């Protein structure tokens, strides 16, 4: 494995750098986010800026990650490990496959379980809509989209405004949050719209 080449790609949807493991809760969040999306790799011993620091105790890091994967993730996750030396510095590569038992939950510091999802280089708390997308993503039969007036109004609004929130869509179509959410989930899974998370609220755009 060419670690330097991998590092040059930078952190993203399937790659994360960790200088060291500091807590089981934090690493569980990353493991779950990868498993709930496309899978990914953690490079332990690599700083956020991509500089290679190396791990001090490979056994200790491996133990903490395994403990996080088994005790702080639900269902448990089975990471794969690979040791790579770069100029006498050891980088521990942790591979997390995309899961077929989604959604996975991570235990936080307050002993609560949450679903996380990988978006670009961040492990984000999944909204109810994203949790539904993750759950339905296990269905290999795909989604049958029927275009009703609700979908038509949605795409007309997106064509004009460029984005929409769940609240706006519910109001636009005079439908319940639950019904509006169901439509958005099906359209996300079909690849017709994309969810975006911001600090204020979640919104949706066309692909």
Per-residue pLDDT tens over the stretch 166-180:
999 999 999 999 999
Is pLDDT at 138 greater than 70 in this prediction?
A: no
27-62 pLDDT, tens digit each: 999 999 999 999 999 999 999 999 999 998 889 999
Query: What are the structure tokens assigned to 44, written together?
Result: 């332990």
Strands 39-44 and 15-18 come out as parallel
| pLDDT (average), residues 17-28 | 95
What ranges make up the beta strands (E) of 10-104? 15-18, 39-44, 73-74, 80-86, 89-97
Query: Could you tell me which residues come within 8 angstroms of residue 199 by beta carbon, excluding any fewer than 6 positions away?
Result: none
Q: How many CB atoms lie within 10 A of CB 6?
A: 18
**Residue 155: beta bridge partners?**
none
Indicate the fold that domain 149-206 takes in CATH.
Arc Repressor Mutant, subunit A (1.10.10)
Which residue spans of the chain are classified as CATH 1.10.10.10?
149-206
pTM: 0.84
Lowest mean pLDDT among 19-28, 113-122, 133-142: 133-142
Establish how many alpha carbons lie within 13 A of residue 132's alpha carbon, considering only the half-sphere containing its beta carbon. 16
* Residue/partner pairs of 197-203 with CB below 8 Å, 24 or more apart: 197/119, 197/124, 197/127, 201/165, 201/167, 202/127, 202/129, 202/165, 202/166, 203/163, 203/164, 203/165
Q: What does the pLDDT look like over 102-122, one tens digit per residue? A: 999 999 999 999 999 998 899
Angle at 37 between CA 188 and CA 16, to 5 degrees: 135
pLDDT band, very low/low/confident/very high, at 143 (cuts 50, 70, 90) = low
Q: Tokens 């200790």 belong to which residue?
A: 60
Residues linked to residue 193 through DSSP beta bridges, in sequence order = 206
C-alpha 79/C-alpha 62 separation (Å) is: 10
Strands 122-125 and 15-18: unpaired
Q: What pLDDT does 99 receive?
A: 93
Pinpoint the alpha helices (H) of 21-145.
Answer: 24-35, 58-71, 128-136
- Cα–Cα dist 74/115, whole Å: 10
Question: Given this model, what pLDDT does residue 39 score?
Answer: 96
Domain 3-126, CATH 3.30.950.30 — does that match?
yes
Residues of the chain with CATH 3.30.950.30: 3-126
Dihedrals φ, ψ of 66, to 5°?
Answer: -65, -40
């Amino acid at each position: 494995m060419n670690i330097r080449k991998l590092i040059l790609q930078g952190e993203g949807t399937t790659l994360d750098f960790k200088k060291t493991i500091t807590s089981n809760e934090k690493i569980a969040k990353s493991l779950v986010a990868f498993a709930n999306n496309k899978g990914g790799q953690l490079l332990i011993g690599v700083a956020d800026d991509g500089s290679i620091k190396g791990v001090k105790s490979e056994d200790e890091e491996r133990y903490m990650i395994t403990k996080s994967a088994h005790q702080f993730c639900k269902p448990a996750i089975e990471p794969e490990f690979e040791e790579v030396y770069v100029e006498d510095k050891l980088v521990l590569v942790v591979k997390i496959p995309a899961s077929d038992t989604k959604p996975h939950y991570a235990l936080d510091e307050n002993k609560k379980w949450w679903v996380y999802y990988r978006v670009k280089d961040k492990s984000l708390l999944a909204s109810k809509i994203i949790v539904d997308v993750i759950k339905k993503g296990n269905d290999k039969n795909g989604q049958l989209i029927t275009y009703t007036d609700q979908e038509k109004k949605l795409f007309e609004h997106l064509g004009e405004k460029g984005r929409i929130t769940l609240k706006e869509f519910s109001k636009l179509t005079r439908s319940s949050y639950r019904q509006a959410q169901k439509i958005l989930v099906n359209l996300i899974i079909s690849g017709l719209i994309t969810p975006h998370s911001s600090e204020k609220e979640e919104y949706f755009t066309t692909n």
